[in-house]
Amino acid sequence: MMPTDLADLVAAAKGGDRPAFDELVRATYAEAYTLAYRLTGNEEDARDVVQDAYLRAYKGLKRFRGDASFSTWLYRITANCASTHLARRSRDRHEDLADDDTLVDQRPEIDPELRADISAERSRLTEALQSLPPDMRAVVVLRDVYDLPHEAIAAELGITEGAAKVRLHRARRRLRERLFPLRGELREGDGEENVRAV
Amino acid sequence: MQCDQIAELLPQVVDHHERADASVVRHVDSCLRCQAELAQYRKLLRALHQLRTEVLEPAPGMLPAILARLESAGERGAVRSLLSGRRAAYVGGLAVATAAAGAAGAIVLAGRGRRKMRVA
């Protein structure tokens, strides 16, 4: 009988059972894709990142000790692949993925459904996240959405723990200013008008 | 401390307000503006945490693409391991042949040496 629990699948896959690893992929790829999409900001990059991540997970499965859950381990690999991918893309295309870039989910097949289902606040939050520079977005997504420890985030992004914390605090500040501006703070797109939200 | 200084610390204080520096806690507890800002950070963190439950739907071709790439990587790995196995067998065979040739040479030399001694 095919094991269905993730831990059983991991154990079977570590023993060389390839169908068990395929089953692991089926069980987790949507979540891995969601993380990759949040980190990269577009579908094409997210797809590449997820493929790289599973390939690395497959090759490195014997090193997975089970200290954390398989999902957490996969998130770390995905974060690392996304970081590498974005750095490479930035070098290759000489793109300036700077503060002003706004990466918004524009997939026609996803947009209408999502926009119909999710609340306006969630939609605004997603857009605000996509408006962050990739290095800030990565840290805040991994810490505040996926709850990874600072140490793991720093390791996967190739930065110090201190740098990870500084990026996190800057990212939170930007998101707060954009989503919940205080008296006297300008909100993006509001021109010179002061927003009196509090 | 001034509100501007406190504002710089709030994105980090929001994680553990109770463990923050006493002077920061005192200021926040007595300042409505900073309390409001801290409340907004808390709201932001709650909203971010709730995003965790949202799973996007990948494009239909993604799963087959991942599995195909794994399959291809598995095949490449198998070929590599086969080739490295053959290489090992080749090197091993060469070593055995060399050792055998060396041993045969030594026996021949030893035989000649004994013959010379007998003649003498």
Residue B76 in domain = no
**Contact list, B66 vs chain A (CB under 8 Å):** 25, 29, 50-51, 54
Q: B62 and A33: CB-CB below 8 Å?
A: yes
Total domains, chain B: 2
CA distance B98 to B77: 31
The verdict on residue B23 lying in a domain is yes
Residue of A150, A177, A180, A195 to mutate, testing the B interface (most B Cβ within 10 Å of its Cβ): A180
**Of A97, A113, A96, nearest in space to A105 by CA:** A113
A34 touches chain B (CB under 8 A): yes
Q: What is the nearest CA distance from A130 to chain B, expressed in angstroms? A: 13
Query: Touching check for A98 and chain B: CB below 8 Å?
Result: no
Q: Which residues of chain B have a CB within 8 Å of the CB of A176? A: 11, 37, 40-41, 44
Judge whether B81 is closer than 8 Å to chain A, CB to CB. no
Residue of A nearest to B53 (CA): A145
Res. A61: pLDDT tops 70:
yes
In a domain, B72, yes or no: no
Give the range among A34-43, A105-114, A159-168 with minimum mean pLDDT: A105-114
Name the helix (H) or strand (E) containing B58: none
Q: Is the pLDDT of residue A198 over 50?
A: no
pLDDT tens-digit readout, B58-114? 999 999 999 999 998 877 666 666 566 656 666 666 677 777 777 777 777 777 777
The nearest alpha carbon in chain B to A26 belongs to B63
Domain range holding B95?
89-120
User: Which residues in B lie closer than 8 A to residue A110 (C-beta atoms)?
Assistant: 56-57
pTM of the model: 0.73
Task: Judge whether B30 lies within some domain.
Answer: yes
ipTM for the assembly:
0.76
Residue A2, phi then psi, degrees to nearest 5: -75, 125
**A76-122 residue pLDDT tens:** 999 999 999 988 887 776 544 444 444 445 454 555 555 555 568 88
Q: Is residue B70 part of a domain?
A: no
Q: Determine, yes or no, domain membership for B100.
A: yes
Q: Is residue B71 part of a domain?
A: no
pLDDT band at B38 (very low <50, low <70, confident <90, very high): very high
Report if residue B117 sits inside a domain.
Answer: yes
Contacts for A105 with CB less than 8 Å, ≥ 6 apart = A37, A111, A114, A126, A130
